Amino acid sequence: MSSAVDLVVHPLTKWQGPLDLPDFARIGDGDFGPVFDAALKAHEAEIDAIAGNSETPTIENTLAALELAGEPLDHVSSIFWCRAGAHTNEDIQALERDISPKMSRHFSAISMNEKLFARIDDLYQRREVLKLDAETLRVLEKTWKGFVRSGARLDADGKKRLARINEELSSLGTSFGQNVLADERDWALFLDEADLSGLPDFLKSAMAQAAEMRGQKGRYAVTLSRSIYEPFSTFSERRDLREIAFRAFTMRGQNGGASDNTSVVRDMLKLRAEKAKLLGYGSFAALKLDDTMAKTPKAVHALLDPVWEKALEKAASDQKELERLAAEAGSNEKFAAWDWRFYQEKLRAEKFAFDEAELKPYLQLDRIIEACFDVATRLFGISFEEKHGIAAWHPDARVFVVKNADGSERGLFLADYFARPSKRSGAWMSALKSGYTLGQGSQPVIYNIMNFAKPPAGEAALLSVDEAKTLFHEFGHALHGMLTEVTWPSVSGTSVSRDFVELPSQLYEHWLTVPAVLEKHALHVKTGKPMPKDLLDKMLAARTFGAGFATVEFTASALIDMAYHARPDAPSEPLRFETETLDRLDMPDTIAMRHRTPHFGHVFAGDGYSAGYYSYMWSEVLDADAFAAFEETGDPFNPALAERLKQNIYAAGGSKDPEELYTAFRGKMPSPEAMMVKRGLV
């Protein structure tokens, strides 16, 4: 181990801050590199000791030892990747480019360690006679399969090549994410008062704040953060400016120069196809889907294709209505993609007699956070207490202690809500520590990252309905991490198959629009009065409004992801392949994919949702059916059902097969019908 770093006392690995958090005030950017090197060496030594053990393999000396090894590496990694996503800078980005391939090499070496695999294989072959409990058996089976899928059975040359592929993919994924962040950070459209026709006050405030953050006080900035870009596209009466913003938004990662992702995507697809072939799979999608509920690309298409057809029909009929409104407004221009949100909002106002701007004053960020907590208390009996004055990775990050109904501490929840140039776009949940009972056990420390527009000092942050849903969604993921009650770290919280992981998050969104929740928490920012019943009724009636547009933009992205990865080879020109595939699918030219290839971070900024973007819709089939269970009882907080939901979905992690868990909650597996109805497609 490096003598320069003592992992036993270093603030990156021995957390001694308030509430046993990392002491962020004592952590400098320059600390990460040496600590990573020392932690990698320490983990390597632990692995060598497990692999070289001369005793007969047991669950304790092999499987448990493997699960508990590498705590210092886990600690430094969790802080670093949090910083890399939520508050980065040039030093952190340089480190990311250095650490990503190192980590890939390290974990490739572990999964291809012949002595270690021999011990795991020995346990696996004897699993029937070891009298294991169900969770331990599942962990052993998943571990064995993970080794095999990571190349444990390849010959020496195959292992070497696979390790090299993984290392290159890791570096390319890092480059992809940094390139998108650079395009988002470096682009802004600065406007003056005369350019703001049609924009509501909440958006003007956010744009003024964004301009001030970029050194242009007194002006207004359109940025590529969705929290500004989407409302600007919805309300701006300046068609020329909407077009400029649309083109910038859809061309992220495809602007030529150092931040262009064209070659990055090409190389990643080629390496993924080679990896799948090396491991004996017909395509990268076949490799990735092997460990999911869907199992095969055919099953994914059985879900996506009928939805696509219905979405195209709905979008076509909606577009006729939007073109009518444009003509009535005196527009002689051909209807274009930068017109859709603008006229869709006008159509909403015509059909339901309200617009998004009327809702926003009732959706204060702090009130919606309270609503998230309130629902969790009513369903699961946990409560949240904010602790002020505790330093985290950025001054905007907030810290909450999570308590059980009996007052005992369950874990910590941290949340970082506002957009800034140092944060990658989007919203996500992750963990500084996961919860489990193996060994000395660990309490979960879970965090949510958002990108809401930050208001000027003294003003309340106001959310759109979609942003409020995003808050509930990510908090649903956080609950999956916080409520976990498992023994083994590798099946804790969100460590479940990719097409099951979105169930707890998407299901939680349903409680945002429960009338009792809105009546209590949707209070006007100035008057403090609840949302009027007629506005609430209109909002609920309009829930499926715009389903054609939303479903086309999502499903197009899912179909492109599958098209890239379900073929045995890789397209030589991915962006041309994207265009040709969309043409074949009859994609309307008036709607853009939710995530075009050059900025499709889910799929290319790492391996997370590659061949897996469909999983949001797969989980949506489950979540629509799961919430219907509550609706059938007439009580959205039905205690008996909430207890079954907690035990089988939120607390169970990956301890059992997802179909078994869902069936234990609901009694049966669902069909896609409830999801289609929920989306307003049938």
- Active-site hit among 96, 474, 553, 620: 474
The single residue listed with the structure tokens 């047991």 is: 58
Q: What is the DSSP string of 325-352?
A: HHHHTT--SPP-GGGHHHHHHHHHHHHH
Q: Are 490 and 497 in contact (CB under 8 A)?
A: no
Q: Lay out the sheet containing 445-452: strands in order across.
A: 383-387, 398-403, 409-418, 445-452, 428-433
Question: What tokens does 47 get?
Answer: 């692995």
Q: Are 248 and 187 in contact (CB under 8 A)?
A: yes
Residue of 42, 57, 33, 49 lying closest to 7 (CA atoms): 42
Q: Are 525 and 462 in contact (CB under 8 A)?
A: yes
Q: What is the DSSP string of 79-131?
A: HHHHHHHHS--HHHHHHHHHHHHHHHHHHHHHHT-HHHHHHHHHHHHTGGGTT
Tell me, yes or no, if 193 is annotated catalytic: no
525 alpha-carbon distance from chain centroid? 29
Q: Give just the sign of the alpha carbon dihedral 109, 112, 118, 119.
A: positive
Using N-to-C axis directions, what is the helix angle for 340-352 and 226-235, rounded to 10°? 70
Q: Are 253 and 598 in contact (CB under 8 A)?
A: yes
Residue 537 pairs with which residues in a beta bridge? Answer: none
Any idea which residues carry the catalytic annotation? Answer: 474
